[in-house]
């Protein structure tokens, strides 16, 4: 993918995404899952490919400690009127960006996870030159990754996990931040959302496996899988 094709083009990106309430968008709900939302945040530039924001969660957190993720969290009926509110509220709390500096561009299909969450991914851009401030109890690091990195097959890995009669694809990106001189493993639901985004917006499928979604009916199998996954990586 040429770098020039990855310079921020708002009209192009919005045209490929779903509105949140679109009848064409896959919306999932299940009593055994927790509905949540994240912000896939874009930092646009005029003359070079845009970057996306990924956080590293604190080990103190109850869910996904130490993992790389998009800002976000679970729906709170006392604070949020909808999942857009959830994504923006959690982003404000976790990395200090005001809702006035966030512009929602669209949405991807809902994605279920092995930890029994249903994630609604909102794509948004940052308006203005904003300082990112990690919430120290929840976030230990914030990285800005050029979108062009995620087209690099040498840094991408995937595998199927076989559980009884079902196969579950899991994706991994190995990212080295030159400025921080540190490696980051971006995997699981976060990596899946990235592959979904570049496929939807640019028609680029980095996966050689079937890029299928998990079947909610099969999730009763995944308690042992979640434990094994944490031990293996």
Q: Could you tell me the CATH number of the domain that includes residue 205?
A: 3.90.79.10
pTM to 2 decimal places: 0.89
CA–CA dist 37, 82 (Å, integer): 10
In the block, which residue shows the tokens 């959690």? Answer: 90
Strand, coil or helix: 106: strand
pLDDT of residue 5: 87
Domain span holding position 77: 3-232
pLDDT of residue 60: 65
pLDDT of residue 184: 95
pLDDT of residue 25: 94
User: Which tokens is 56 given?
Assistant: 């590293």
Q: Domains in the chain: how many in total?
A: 1
How many Cα atoms are found within 13 Å in the side-chain-facing hemisphere of 156? Answer: 18
pLDDT of residue 229: 43
pLDDT of residue 233: 40
CB 19 within 8 A of CB 29: no
Strand, coil or helix: 72: strand
User: Which tokens is 14 given?
Assistant: 């919005």
In the block, which residue shows the tokens 């980095």? Answer: 206
Binned average pLDDT, 10 residues per bin, the chain of 233 residues: 88 97 91 93 95 90 73 95 97 95 97 88 94 92 96 92 73 94 94 95 87 60 46 41
CA–CA dist 74, 231 (Å, integer): 25
User: Which tokens is 119 given?
Assistant: 């994630």
């Amino acid at each position: 993918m040429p770098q020039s094709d990855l310079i921020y083009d708002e009209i192009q990106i919005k045209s490929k995404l779903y509105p949140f309430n679109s009848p064409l968008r896959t919306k999932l709900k299940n009593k055994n899952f927790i509905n949540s939302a994240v912000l896939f945040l874009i930092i646009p530039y005029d003359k070079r490919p845009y970057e996306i924001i990924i956080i590293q969660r604190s080990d103190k957190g109850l869910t996904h400690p130490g993992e790389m993720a998009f800002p976000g969290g679970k729906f709170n009926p006392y604070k949020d009127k909808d999942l857009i509110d959830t994504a923006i509220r959690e982003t404000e709390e976790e990395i200090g960006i005001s809702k006035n500096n966030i512009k929602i561009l669209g949405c991807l299909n809902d994605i279920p996870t092995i930890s029994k969450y249903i994630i609604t991914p909102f794509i948004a851009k940052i308006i203005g030159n904003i300082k990112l401030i990690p919430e120290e109890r929840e976030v230990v690091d914030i990285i800005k990754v050029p979108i062009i990195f995620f087209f690099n097959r040498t840094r991408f890995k995937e595998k199927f996990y076989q559980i009884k009669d079902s196969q579950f694809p899991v994706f991994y990106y190995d990212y080295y931040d030159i400025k921080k001189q540190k490696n980051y493993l971006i995997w699981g639901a976060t990596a899946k959302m990235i592959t979904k985004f570049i496929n939807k917006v640019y028609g680029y499928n980095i996966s050689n496996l079937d890029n299928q979604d998990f079947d909610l009916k099969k999730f009763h199998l995944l308690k042992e899988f979640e434990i094994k996954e944490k031990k293996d990586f």
